[in-house]
Amino acid sequence: MNVLSFSVVGAASNQVELLYVWQQARPEAKAIIACLFVLSIIVWTVMVLKVVQMRRARKLNTYFGEEFRGQKAVLDIFDRKLHVEGCPLYAVYNVGCVQMDARLRGTGETPRKTQVSLKNMEHVKRALENTVAQESLKLESGLILLAIAVSGAPFMGLLGTVWGVMSTFAGIAQTGSASMAAMAPGVSAALITTVAGLLVAIPSMFGYNWLVHNLRAFTVELDNFAQELVSRMETEYLADE
C-alpha cells in the first residue's frame, strides 16, 4: 500500500513539475514548442502513411511477381486487361507492355507483328527506366519532411534553450539577484525546448532510416524486374540483326 501511494505521489509530482516548467516558459519558448508539436504530428502522419504504402506495395509486388512468372507469354497479363492499382511492379510492366504493343501493331488496330527491331527495343527500355524512376519517386515522396525534422527539430529546441537562458541571465543582471531560486525556473523552462526538439527528432531519425532502407530495396526490386521484363521481351520479339 505504501509503495502504491509513493507511486501515485511520484506520478502526480511529475505532472506538476511539467506543468510548472510550462508555466515558467517564456512566450517564444511556447511558440517553438507549439511549432515542434505541429511538426511531430506531421512526422508521425507521414511515417504511418509511408509504412502502410510500402507494406501494401510489397504485398502487391509479391502477388504480381508470382502471376508474371507464371504466364506463358510476356503480354498475357496485358491482354487480359488486368489492373493492379498501387503495385509498382505492375506499373513498370504495364508501361513496358504498352510500348511493346504499340511497336508490334504500328499504326491503327493492325494485328501484332512477331518481331521488333533493336531500335524499337531501346525505346521500350528507356520507357521502363523512366517508369522505375517515377515509381521510386512516388515511394520517396514525403521523406523530405522526416529529413527536415531530423536535422531541424534539435536546432529549433536549441534555439529556444539559448534564447531562454539568455533571457534568464539578462533578468538576473537587471535585478542583481544571482540565487539558485532566481535562476532555476528560467533555466528549466529554457531546457524544455531542447527536450521537445529531441522528442521530435529521435523518432523521425529511426523512421527515416527504416523507410530509406526499404526504399532502396524497392528500387533494386524494380530495376531487377525491369531487366527481367526486357529480357523476356527480347527473347520473344527481338529480331535477329
* Segment 130-167, tens digit of pLDDT: 999 999 998 888 899 999 999 999 999 888 888 888 77
Distance of alpha carbon 198 from alpha carbon 221, whole angstroms: 34
Copy the grid coordinates of residue 39.
Answer: 511538426
pLDDT of 1 reads 42
What are 203-211's contacts with CB under 8 Å, separation 24+?
A: 203/43, 203/44, 203/47, 204/43, 204/47, 204/146, 204/149, 204/150, 204/153, 205/150, 207/43, 207/47, 207/146, 208/143, 208/146, 208/147, 208/150, 211/47, 211/50, 211/51, 211/54, 211/143, 211/146
Among candidate residues 87, 81, 79, the one with its CA nearest the CA of residue 63: 87
pLDDT exceeds cutoff 90 at 85: no
Residue written as grid cell 503480354: 75
pLDDT of 60 reads 92
Between the CA of residue 68 and those of 73, 103, 158, 162, what are the distances in Å? 9, 21, 53, 59
Distance of alpha carbon 1 from alpha carbon 20, whole angstroms: 28
pLDDT exceeds cutoff 60 at 226: yes
Backbone angles phi, psi at 125, to 5 degrees: -60, -45
Confidence of residue 18 (pLDDT cuts 50, 70, 90): low
Q: Do the Cβ atoms of 204 and 150 come closer than 8 Å?
A: yes
Among candidate residues 213, 202, 122, 197, the one with its CA nearest the CA of residue 156: 197
Confidence of residue 119 (pLDDT cuts 50, 70, 90): confident
CA torsion, ordered 222, 72, 76, 65, to nearest 10 deg: -30
Backbone angles phi, psi at 83, to 5 degrees: -125, 125
pLDDT exceeds cutoff 70 at 73: yes
Residue written as grid cell 522526416: 146
pLDDT tens figures, 167-214:
777 777 777 666 666 566 667 777 888 888 999 999 999 999 999 999
Among candidate residues 101, 157, 95, 102, the one with its CA nearest the CA of residue 127: 95
